[in-house]
Structure 1
C-alpha cells in the first residue's frame, strides 16, 4: 500500500506541475497577443505620423520656394 500511496502522490504532484505549466503558457500566449496588437497599433501610428511629417515638410518647402524663389535671397538666420 505504501508504494501505491507514493505513486498517487507523485502522480498528483506531476499533474499539479503540468497544470501550472499550462497556466503559465496560457498567460504568456495572452501577453504575446496583447504585445502583438500594441506593436501593430504603433506601426500604424508611425505610418500616419510619417505621412503627416512628409506633408508638412513638402508644405514648408513649397512655402519657402514661393517666398524666396532664389536661395540667395533668403535672409540669414537670426544668430547672425
Structure 2
C-alpha cells in the first residue's frame, strides 16, 4: 500500500511540475500578446488621428464654395 501511495504521489508531483511549466509558458505568451495588442492599438490610433486630420482638408470652406448656378 505504501508503494502505491508513493507512486501516486510521484505522479502528482510530476503533473504539478509539468503544469507549472505550462502555466509559465502561457503567461509569457500572454504577455507577448498583450504587448502586441497595445502596439496595434497605438498604431490604429495614429491612423485614426491622421485620417481625422486629412478629412477637413478634403472639403472646401463656406467662403471657398462657388455659388450654385441659379445665383
TM-score range, shorter chain: 0.7 to 0.9
Q: What corresponds to 1:31 in structure 2?
A: 22
Which of 48, 51, 57 is residue 60 of structure 1 equivalent to?
Answer: 51
Deviations 1:10-53 (A, max 9, x none): 11111100000000001111111111111111110010000000
Instruction: Name the TM-score, length of structure 1 as normaliser.
Output: 0.71
Looking at structure 2, the residues matched to 59 and 47 of structure 1 have their Cα atoms a distance apart, in angstroms, of 18
Looking at structure 1, the residues matched to 50 and 7 of structure 2 have their Cα atoms a distance apart, in angstroms, of 64
Does the C-alpha gap of structure 1 residues 39 and 69 become closer, same or farther in structure 2, counting only changes over 3 Å? farther
Does the C-alpha gap of structure 1 residues 54 and 17 become closer, same or farther in structure 2, counting only changes over 3 Å? same
Does the C-alpha gap of structure 1 residues 11 and 60 become closer, same or farther in structure 2, counting only changes over 3 Å? same
Q: Which has the higher contact order (CA 8 A, sep 6+)?
A: 1
Q: CA RMSD in A?
A: 1.2
Alpha-carbon distance, 1:69 to partner: 5.6
Which of 32, 47, 52 is residue 41 of structure 1 equivalent to?
Answer: 32
Q: Number of aligned residue pairs: give it.
A: 61
